Chain A
C-alpha cells in the first residue's frame, strides 16, 4: 500500500534551518510529484511547493523563494524539504503529499511538527 512516512518533530531556534524527510513506499517514487503543505497551529493550509522526483525539478511559492529547498534521493525513495532562516511564524505542521491532478487517490504523510522558539 502507498505510504508517505515523514521524519519526527523538530525544535529549532530562530535563524536556524530544518530539513524534513518524506519516505515513499508502495509505488514508483519517480512517477508522482511530491507537494509540501504546512499548517500553523489552529490555522489553515498553505502550499509551499512541489518537487518532481523524476527530474528533480521544483516549483516554490514566491513567499518561500530563497528560503526553501526541495530535493530528493531516488535511491531511497525519499523527498526532502529544507527551510532556512526560520522565524517563529514558521512554527507549523509540515505535510508531504502525493496529490495527482487526475482522480487518483491522494496520499499524505503523517505530518512533522516544526517548532521555532528561542
Chain B
C-alpha cells in the first residue's frame, strides 16, 4: 500500500496567515492526488484535484503543488471559515489512501 505521510498533524494560525500543509507519498504517484477539507460533523469536500487544479467554486486562496512524492496545500491568507481538518488522498493505486489529516486551529 502507498503510505501518505502528512505534516504537521495540527497547527495554530491566525486569520490572514499563510499556511502550508505537506503530504509525502511512500512511492511516486505522479499527480494523482487530491486535497480535502472536513469540518466537524460534516463530510469531506474536495478543494484540489490532480495535485494542483482548483475545484470549481473553491476560493483562489487555496492552491496545490507537487508531483511524484511531495505535495503541498497552501492557504495564502487564512480566513475564519478555513479552520478545519485537511486530508490528502492518493488515487494512483489501490487501496486509495488518505494522509492522517492536519487540524488547522485558531491561534
Q: Contact between A106 and B45 (Cβ–Cβ < 8 Å)?
A: yes
Q: Report which of B43, B53, B56 forms a contact with A105, defined as CB distance below 8 A.
A: B56
Q: Report which of B34, B36, B55, B94 forms a contact with A59, defined as CB distance below 8 A.
A: B94
Please give the number of chain A residues whose Cβ is less than 8 angstroms from any Cβ of chain B in the complex. 22
Q: In the assembly, what is the distance between CA of A47 and CA of B55, in Å?
A: 21
Q: Contact between B91 and A101 (Cβ–Cβ < 8 Å)?
A: yes
CB neighbours (8 Å) of A59 from chain B are 94
Q: In the assembly, what is the distance between CA of A17 and CA of B98, in Å?
A: 26
A-B contact pairs, 22 of them (CB 8 A): A44-B87, A44-B100, A45-B36, A45-B38, A45-B44, A45-B89, A47-B89, A47-B97, A63-B95, A97-B43, A97-B44, A101-B49, A101-B91, A103-B56, A105-B56, A105-B57, A106-B45, A106-B55, A108-B43, A108-B44, A108-B45, A110-B43
Partner-B contacts on A (CB < 8 A): 35, 37, 44-47, 59, 61-63, 95, 97, 99, 101-103, 105-106, 108-111
Partner-A contacts on B (CB < 8 A): 1, 34, 36, 38, 43-46, 49-50, 53, 55-57, 87, 89, 91, 94-101
